[in-house]
Chain A
Amino acid sequence: KQEVTQIPAALSVPEGENLVLNCSFTDSAIYNLQWFRQDPGKGLTSLLLIQSSQREQTSGRLNASLDKSSGRSTLYIAASQPGDSATYLCAVKGGSYIPTFGRGTSLIVHP
């Protein structure tokens, strides 16, 4: 059974810092891994999707890496801004079409 862990559970940083969110999964036989953002009262917004054959994906100030063999993914946020404050969720798809989610990292970026 796939289990997804996200560390840290919460993070508070000053504006401008570069930061790394971690996601680990127990079964390395994954199809893809996806990072989502959730704002209070809003749905999940897909940020980056990494296929199992890929090592990383980039979008603007976001970079996600994937190391399948070690069961890890990181989401790197460069030059953080208060607007980046949200909960970041990691989800993996293995042999099932149903994604397995982590509990998320709650990020606060203060001015």
Chain B
Amino acid sequence: EAGVTQFPSHSVIEKGQTVTLRCDPISGHDNLYWYRRVMGKEIKFLLHFVKESKQDESGMPNNRFLAERTGGTYSTLKVQPAELEDSGVYFCASSQGSSGRTLTDTQYFGPGTRLTVL
């Protein structure tokens, strides 16, 4: 069974440009999460989808970030316009639970996308 995949693995862009990150969850997982790790800091939650609906987007830093999950399959995270402080590793995770909002729900992480904004 394929795990969570993310594309691209690396992205280098200039400040002001737009970047779109993609995440493909494990097949059959309704729950999809985005996290970010800024260099030297801990991994932090960005948002959570249940199927195509945003369940919790309390971690989104600002309105330059837009996440979508049309059709409830893969998700994209767009940063527009990118700023220097957006550099970091963006992780996606998925889980199978009915709502994803349970403590027992196990999240499976993808390899991450390393974003560098120059």
Task: Name A98's closest neighbour in chain B (CB-CB).
Answer: B45
Main secondary structure of the interface of B (DSSP, over half): loop
Q: Sort chain B's interface into a size bin.
A: 20 to 34
Q: With a 10 A CB-CB cut-off, give which of A41, A102, A104 has the most chain B CB atoms.
A: A41
Q: Given A43-B3, A43-B4, A101–B103 Cβ distance below 8 Å?
A: no
Task: Name B111's closest neighbour in chain A (CB-CB).
Answer: A43
Report chain A residues within 8 Å CB of B17. Answer: none
Report chain B residues within 8 Å CB of A41. Answer: 9, 111
A43 near B91: Cβ-Cβ < 8 Å: yes
Residues of A within 8 A of B (CB): 4, 31-32, 36, 41-44, 46, 89, 91, 93, 97-104
Residues of B within 8 A of A (CB): 3-4, 9, 40-45, 48, 56, 59, 91, 100-103, 105-112
